[in-house]
Structure 1
């Protein structure tokens, strides 16, 4: 669930803008609407890792990935059998027959490579589909917590360019992560499962033998 370089730069720029916002707003806001701005932050990955949905998603992705891997392994096994059969052809085998076998092996090798790429994309799409309701639930809860506790802005402390978070410093009482979890009825620290932050490899590379020569007041939760 990583952001692209361009999107992270946009978020980083937005964070700098919002960091400067309190002073600017304090100077320009009308006296009748004057009030202290309250800024909070949360670690989205931490919150998701504590949600019971996290374990369910991790399990579903693992099962789906295993299914695809088994299909790939079967294709590779079939390919290797045909390679062995080709290599066992007698020396007297006509060139035309050898050429047909080589073409078949090259087609199978290409099919395996395409299946592996498709499988990885399929797992990523499945992950996004499973995570969407989780992000929606988290966003709604952050909105509720912000309204209840008077937070004007809420940052994601684990988001940013590279390993640098948007939030570089903040008081402990500004961390609303546990408050968000409690709002969802989750006891902080009860789940140890890591957040499904990256799609598991759908089909680890099992390189087949080479074919024979010849062939605004809300900070939206980032969706990674």
Structure 2
């Protein structure tokens, strides 16, 4: 307990930093994933091709490599000067969006084709059909896997610790330098992640129970 109490400010900054990184990346990945999913089911061939290439490229690229690029390679390009935190958010968003896209696409495929055909017969365009008819039903069908993707994103923020975005690496170094038991310190970090993951799991179960689709 002394490890936590003596370094409460350090753990507090790390905890809040993780929440901030997760929230920004979660919202961004949901938005980008929905856009890419729309591309993948679009009637325009070039959009479908772009969506397919994006998903296949990102899903087969390790997250560590993505974050390494934004941490060390991006600054050398001298395009726009971004903070380290912003670059980490971009990396997590780009990576997670590919998985969000596939989850949403699988949900879209569960919606009967006849509903889209009926909406087009009523004069609805592709965008109207997707946003008002198909996507609301698809989201209900993919609540559990979509929440699992976000839980994975939360845990993936630890990878950013190696690039000094999440402070787990900083905690390890400071505890070691000050003579604290590092193993106990890491167990407190694990408890912090448990505190963050459990509410997401409970939310998933609640939404799944309320939005379950009758089969």
TM beyond 0.5: no
TM-score (norm 1): 0.32
TM-score (norm 2): 0.33
Q: Which of structures 1 and 2 has the bigger CA Rg?
A: 1
More helix by share: 2
Tell me which of the two structures has the higher relative contact order, counting C-alpha pairs closer than 8 angstroms and 6 or more residues apart. 1
